[in-house]
Amino acid sequence: MLLLTLSHQSAAASGPSILVLGDSLSAAYGMDMEQGWVNLLEQRLKIKAPNAKVINASISGETTGGGAARLAGLLDKYEPSVVIIELGGNDGLRAYPIKQMRRNLKTMTDAALNTNSKVLLLAAEAPPNLGRRYTALFRESYTQLAQNEAVMSLPFIVEHIFLSDELMQADATHPNAKAQPLLLDVVWPSLLTLLGNSIDE
């Protein structure tokens, strides 16, 4: 009992840690890292939990395969409370097989759950030129995995941002700095639910 109490106090003192494993959307592509939604997340989180830590392991151009290959080492190094998986967009851009993407997403989810980390899946979308069947199966991959593994998921967090030229970079693909707080606002409520009692309400 004493050991459990001390362990709980130690965890509370260290604060929650969030590992973000994503692609250019989370790697602040085209802007300073400080402007990205992941850095804004850490700033907002520390208001509620001063000892909280956010590890941004996102890489522009990353695929689910790359994330699956890297995650085990990241889990071992950082022992995060929550893992946010924001991958799949580049799989879709390259028209990778759906089964391969699903397998990679499941590998990452299982790896995180096996270390007692909670998981938040941020879904991606496939380009419409790949056809309705591919895009539908692509989208369903996230909802099905979330249901099967009993983890939380969110739909494509930039869906509405794409409709505003003022929120997009010149490449019409990546959200700009103005859009980053909006991306955080989408993720924030779900993250608070996952963190639960580890932060102040």
Catalytic-residue membership of 23: no
Output DSSP code: residue 142: H
The pair of three-digit structure tokens given for residue 100, joined into one six-digit string: 């391969």
Catalytic-residue membership of 165: no
H/E segment holding residue 71? helix 64-78
The pair of three-digit structure tokens given for residue 124, joined into one six-digit string: 């991606």
Of the residues 17, 24, 141, 153, only one is catalytic, namely: 24
Catalytic-residue membership of 14: no
Of the residues 10, 32, 165, 171, only one is catalytic, namely: 171
Contact yes or no for 121/56 (Cβ under 8 A):
no
Q: Where are the beta strands (DSSP E) in 117-184?
A: 118-122, 152-154
Of the residues 17, 26, 153, 174, only one is catalytic, namely: 174
Contact yes or no for 154/125 (Cβ under 8 A):
no
CA distance 163 to 112: 34
SS3 content of the chain, % helix, strand, coil (to 5): 55, 10, 30
Output DSSP code: residue 81: S
Tell me the catalytic residues: 24, 171, 174
